[in-house]
Amino acid sequence: MWAVLGRLGVAQAVGPARLIAVRPAAAGAFSIPHVTMATHFSKDQERIRCVKGDLFSCPSTDALAHCISEDCRMGAGIAVLFKKKFGGVQELLDQKKKTGEVAVLQRDERYIYYLITKQKVSHKPTYESMQKSLEAMKAHCLNNGVTDISMPRIGCGLDGLQWEKVSAILEEVFENTDIKITVYSL
């Protein structure tokens, strides 16, 4: 939601304080008086949007992503909810994915990405395995027309990675794409 700040030619998004300059509408944009919104990313727009809320309340058209181990145990954290909601553990195991890859389920028109970031449930992921899994997910997204992904702060709960580093990896991996990522936290 946008609140226009009078004749200053500035709009402010509700959420983290961040001011943006409003410019005349350009090709590929539409305009509301005093506010211009681009229909495509420009280099200075954020690709990753962080919101508070339930991940599973995201639009049903968004792909979902989270991290698991090669053994597909999913016995703790948000992985338990993915297992209950989408099932498919044997389907995931049959894909025989290794650390640094991504297993994929399709439910209706939605893809669910299982980033394989460690060998066993008792292990911890590395930033390298996270990046490789994200690259594999990006390739699948590009090959299958996925433009919106919702996810938790991947690797930062029970796995113990730092969000600042993970979000920088996300930005780097997806920087030359039109894929938008929404990160949910409670």
Q: Is 118 in the active site?
A: yes
Please state, in angstroms and as integers, the Cα–Cα distance from residue 24 to each residue in 27, 39, 67, 119, 177, following that order: 10, 14, 42, 52, 25
Q: What are phi and psi of 165, to 5 degrees?
A: -75, -40
Q: Is 159 in the active site?
A: yes
Residues 62, 97, 132, 159: which is the catalytic one? Answer: 159
Q: CA–CA separation, 95 vs 105, rounded Å?
A: 10
The number of beta carbons lying within 10 Å of the beta carbon of residue 89 is 16
Beta bridge partners of 151: 183
Residues 62, 97, 118, 138: which is the catalytic one? Answer: 118
Q: CA–CA separation, 126 vs 118, rounded Å?
A: 8
Catalytic residues: 118, 159
